[in-house]
Structure 1
Amino acid sequence: MTGHPPQALAGTPSNAPVAPTMLKRRLGLPLLVLYGTGITVGAGIYVLIGAVAGHAGVYAPWSFLLAAAIMALTVASYIELSTRFPVSAGEAAYVKAAFESRLLSILIGLLTIGIATVSSAAVALGSAGYIQQFLDWPRELIVIAVVVLLGAVAAWGILESVVLASLFTLIEVGGLVAIIAFAVYSDVPIGAALSNVPPLEVTTLSGIAFGTLLAFFAFIGFEDLVNVVEEAEQPYRDIPRAMVLTLLISTALYVLVAAVAVCTVSIERLALSPAPLSLVFRAVAEVNPRTISLIAIVATLNTILAQMTMASRVIYGLARSGDFPQVLARVSAATGTPVVATLLIVACVIPLALSVPFAWLAEGTSLATLVVFASVNIALLRLRYRGVLSAEPHVSVPIWVPGLGVIACLAMIASSLLR
């Protein structure tokens, strides 16, 4: 990947309305990496490992490794586009620049907001389930309390939100690192599991392929980094680095945890358990399973906070460009955050969480995310084809990267619809 010097700006209307107060640049590389890793690792791996192992068997680490390779294509496309157009509501800005269509830009922006809102609602339900193990409150009351409190944190300030999210990240990642550390201490044959090359058999390879489809969704979340680009201290340098480090850290954790899981717990028990990592944790550490439940609560809270923060920035970006009402572009002079946009997200998440089944929310999030990923890759191809230049110094990736990224996303969409 190479850098390009500043050139003529394209895709950003010169008469776009400007927000009364700009967002504050308060995020350095360490906080960006913790933010990205926290969203990506999130709550998914704590339940997803069982489903992946159920299809890929002892070759589950291969499924996670292949999913990471596929995701790397879209990560690369996001890196180029985020350095070309370092603005909030990134996906919408990319599409507007590529197709010069305000309608298409608004649709992608709405889809991105919808993904974050629906994902927050789904994870809030999961969080309430874990919290009920410790607090005898009605699920509906827990959902409302969680969303309102995290919405207040998101409105308090971007630095405060990301610092809290970073603390959550250290705890949830610490849970995965603890599993790996206990496994090493107990002489679990992790190396043998990682070097276990699958045979060239149709049944085995098809199981790994379907496991890869499931594992792909464990890597979703890195893209939220592009929507805090206006709050990064040095966006051109730090956003690409944060994306790459997020992918590398997540991949290492997933592959090692998958290796430990298939070495310590039977595939049948992993596949059938609603909390497979609790089984793994108990097998390698003999620790009370409530410990992993506490970590899972932290993971879910982290995901909700990050998704609501991201959604409010997309709303802010669209409002500032004139696509949404200007009231949504207002930034509090005291907190440096789009408070009205944040309140709107809170008001949308709560009724969704209280009225729509969890399975529908999760499936809708996955499919919509793939549509956005495909649109981002297509936007980059379109920009390259039209020879659109950028006023920003930007990273440049080989043209085959977004091409393969589109193919991978469309294949995932087809697989999801045909299941």
Structure 2
Amino acid sequence: MAEQGVVAQPGLQRSIGPFQLFAYTLGGMLGAGIYGLVGRAAGELGSAVWLGFLVAMVAALLTGLSYASLGSRYPRAGGAAYVTGRAFAMPLLTWVVGLAVMASGLTSVATQSRVVAANLLALTGLQAVPAVAVAIGFVLLLAGIVLRGIRESMWVNIVCTVIEACGLVLVIVVGIGWWGSRPLLETPTGEGIGLSFLMTGAILTFFAFIGFEDTLNVAEEARNPRRTLPIGIIAAMLTATALYIAVAITAVSVVPWQELAVAPGPLVAVMARAAPWFPEWGYAAITLFAVANTGLLNYVTASRLLLGMARHGLFPPALTRIHPRRHTPHVAILALLPVVLALVLAGDIGQLAAATVLLLLGVFSVVNVALLVLQRRAGEPHGGFEVPAIVPAAGALVCAALLANRVLAGDWRAPALAGALLLAILLAFALLRPAATPEAMEG
């Protein structure tokens, strides 16, 4: 019971149902990336591109199962940062994990805002309007929706997710008649499909599944998270896999993989051949919704993450305030706005966004190990969904292997930038000296 004269602080509202949670997870994964990734993957994997998505799903599902278990155990805002702090009680590690995830979200919001602006201007023909002005307007709109409430954010997400999913289903429907017309195990080298080939495919296509981790940050706003959060994550990952594999099979069946690999818009090329009646601007419009949805979900995630870290004592306590009527972390949402706007004004931050996504692989490894620690600790609460220790152990190893492979091979710019960003995060910790409270870690 609250002490007399003390006004209870408002909290986040548990208003997210099971379907909304499923749509939130699916919307986070079905971003615009899949619309271009099919072409890149075809260049590396040939017509066996569908196999790359299947192997990547197995790799991603290991970490997805860990996140589902953690969400059912600890339905708290803060997501990966809260779990890391609870498992290790190391402020520095919690700070690094939290800021790495937040940086990924904020750079994504800024990047997507510029893509939205470019697509919107192309669709409307208003080329005289400065793209940066449209991008800033889009960010302000996102902030307004997130401030309005989690219920409103969820409904916008559902609309966008349905549209982007329908775009993928449309490709499958118009091209399914082409299935069987071309071989589906043809590789660029002409050699057989071995372990090295499958690893290459998993590394490339794994990033199509990134987004499921955002769901952990809204667990505190979900109804019955012990049950609904695991269902939402697992069902969304399986649905995304089915869509990705079917789209990949359709794409290489309609358009030879050699042509698909060099097409500026792979799925546009598929639609042009399988459904010439479909308007050229159709996929630009669908992409607009997909990109906008990614930006929205990343803003929601970043605000809840900032709220959770402030509760840990890693940021000023003012950021823990919840709006009494809207039940949103309004101070955290507004605090992030100038950061996102600065990133928008910074121009092309594509390499920075790629670097932060790379850091997520490190975060996934830490979170998997955190689950192992918490499973073995006496007195920790059990969730509605438990997994054997082999799942987080394998998940940590897979993510660490993917990270090592990405750092040691390919373009060096993103790994170098990721290292510089990590150094900046460590420097910020050294200068600010935040110290998480034990009570927050255990609460």
Is TM-score (shorter-chain normalized) higher than 0.5? yes
**Given the alignment, which residue of 86, 94, 97 partners 1:105?**
94
**Given the alignment, which residue of 110, 114, 124 partners 2:113?**
124
Ranges in structure 2 where 5+ consecutive residues have no aligned partner: 1-6, 411-443
SS in 2 for 1:151: helix
SS in 2 for 1:395: coil
Structure 1 range deviating more: 202-211 or 392-401: 202-211
User: Hey, what's the Cα distance between the residues in 1 that align with 2:353 and 2:318?
Assistant: 31
Deviations 1:355-408 (A, max 9, x none): 1534313321321111111110111222234x2432354422111111111111
Q: Which residue of 1 aligns with 2:346?
A: 355
**Given the alignment, which residue of 120, 145, 164 partners 1:172?**
164
User: Hey, what's the Cα distance between the residues in 1 that align with 2:9 and 2:317?
Assistant: 9
User: Hey, what's the Cα distance between the residues in 2 that align with 1:202 and 1:19?
Assistant: 65
Distance 1:400 1:87, change over 3 A: same
Q: Which residue of 2 aligns with 1:279?
A: 269
Q: Which residue of 1 aligns with 2:233?
A: 243
Deviations 1:68-104 (A, max 9, x none): 0000100111112112211010211211121122232
Q: Which residue of 2 aligns with 1:335?
A: 326
Deviations 1:116-163 (A, max 9, x none): 111212222222222221232222112101111111111110000010
User: Hey, what's the Cα distance between the residues in 1 that align with 2:69 and 2:122?
Assistant: 44
Q: Is the 8 A contact 1:99 1:379 kept in 2?
A: yes
Is 1:229 matched with 2:222? no
- How far has the Cα of 1:193 moved from its partner? 5.8
SS in 1 for 2:385: strand
- How far has the Cα of 1:107 moved from its partner? 2.2
User: Hey, what's the Cα distance between the residues in 1 that align with 2:394 and 2:54?
Assistant: 17
Distance 1:190 1:72, change over 3 A: farther
Q: Which residue of 2 aligns with 1:325?
A: 316
Deviations 1:2-52 (A, max 9, x none): xxxxxxxxxxxxxxxx99210001110011111111111111101111101
Q: Which residue of 1 aligns with 2:280?
A: 289
Structure 1 range deviating more: 156-165 or 278-287: 278-287
Q: Is the 8 A contact 2:104 2:353 kept in 1?
A: no
Ranges in structure 1 where 5+ consecutive residues have no aligned partner: 1-17
Is 1:76 matched with 2:65? yes
Aligned positions of 1:77-226 closer than 5 A: 77-134=66-123, 135-136=126-127, 137-184=129-176, 187-189=177-179, 196=185, 201=191, 206-226=196-216
Q: Is the 8 A contact 2:182 2:253 kept in 1?
A: no
User: Hey, what's the Cα distance between the residues in 2 that align with 1:306 and 1:144?
Assistant: 17
The AA in structure 1 aligned to 2:221 is: E
User: Segments of 4+ in structure 1 off by > 6 A?
Assistant: 197-200
Q: Which residue of 2 aligns with 1:7?
A: none
Structure 1 range deviating more: 49-58 or 103-112: 103-112
Q: CA RMSD in A?
A: 2.1
**Given the alignment, which residue of 31, 36, 41 partners 1:42?**
31
User: Hey, what's the Cα distance between the residues in 2 that align with 1:125 and 1:274?
Assistant: 18
Q: Which residue of 2 aligns with 1:375?
A: 366
User: Hey, what's the Cα distance between the residues in 1 that align with 2:51 and 2:193?
Assistant: 15
Normalising to structure 1: TM-score of the pair? 0.90
User: Hey, what's the Cα distance between the residues in 1 that align with 2:181 and 2:232?
Assistant: 28
Q: Is the 8 A contact 2:100 2:356 kept in 1?
A: no
Structure 1 range deviating more: 346-355 or 333-342: 346-355
User: Hey, what's the Cα distance between the residues in 1 that align with 2:404 and 2:141?
Assistant: 38
User: Hey, what's the Cα distance between the residues in 2 that align with 1:120 and 1:322?
Assistant: 26
Deviations 1:282-303 (A, max 9, x none): 2221112210000000000000
SS in 1 for 2:402: helix
Q: Is the 8 A contact 1:52 1:212 kept in 2?
A: no
User: Hey, what's the Cα distance between the residues in 2 that align with 1:293 and 1:350?
Assistant: 24
Is 1:20 matched with 2:9? yes
Work out the percentage of aligned pairs sharing the same amino acid.
36
User: Hey, what's the Cα distance between the residues in 2 that align with 1:93 and 1:26?
Assistant: 21
Q: Is the 8 A contact 1:190 1:259 kept in 2?
A: no
